[in-house]
Amino acid sequence: MMTEQFEDLGFAKVDHSRKSRNGFAEVVFCEGKTPEQAAQIAASILDHGDNLLATRADLEHFEAIQAVAPDASYSARARVITVRRTSVTSLGEVAVVSAGTADQPVAEEAALTAEALGCTVRRFSDVGVAGLHRLLAVIDDIRQADVIIAVAGMEGALVSVLGGLVDKPVLAVPSGIGYGANFGGVTTLLAMVNSCASGVAVLNIGNGFGAGFMAATICRQIDQRVKSALARRDSERQ
């Protein structure tokens, strides 16, 4: 069944009006779906648009989607599939900062999500507080971003340190990396929630997608306000 708002595939109702409501098209969450289901949803989305973002995808999901979209790209590290047939207007700059190499899969999910939604992304890897000089060496570059995503495991100290050094919103993501008392990221999550730094908001454990999406949402609001201000200025000059 097809309506103007969604397409009923029987096992899923693909939301084709989401972009008009929320600013971005529906994203496919592949985990828990069969490769065939993910491919059918992807094909439906691409029938109504030129770009696609699918997260938590394994190789089988990618191969199935690639069968209906040969131009699809896959990041095995981030488990993200993208199709980009039209360029996306840059909304702003996002800095994705990861504490250690083991945190990079979550960081890359955040980075690819923000890029797919129209942001320019700069990656700063392996700058955790075990070697604070590594973070300080790039802090001026990080400060140039409109939004900062910080991904860390262990005790999550990077977030509080970073939050105290910048004047931009910091979206914190616990990667889930750590030893036994880390409890699969719960210790990091609680540490980040209790950060003493202002301007820090915390996402769920491993939720790089959520951080990338929120960063793009913030950048889109900034972009819209800037455009409105420029339009008012031009109107006043006429």
Domain ranges of the chain: 6-84, 93-222
Residues 6 or more apart whose CB falls under 8 angstroms from that of 104 comprise: 77, 98, 125, 151
pLDDT of residue 108: 98
Query: Using N-to-C axis directions, what is the helix angle for 208-237 and 104-116, rounded to 10°?
Result: 30
What residues of the chain score a pLDDT lower than 70?
A: 1-4, 89, 223, 226-238
Buried b (16+ CB within 10 A) or exposed e, 187-219: bbbebbeebebeebebbebbbbbbbbbbbbbbb
N residues, the chain? 238
pLDDT of residue 5: 84
Architecture of domain 93-222: 3-Layer(aba) Sandwich (3.40)
Its pTM stands at 0.89
pLDDT of residue 191: 96
pLDDT of residue 6: 84
pLDDT of residue 1: 53
- Return d(Cα 228, Cα 230) in angstroms, integer: 5
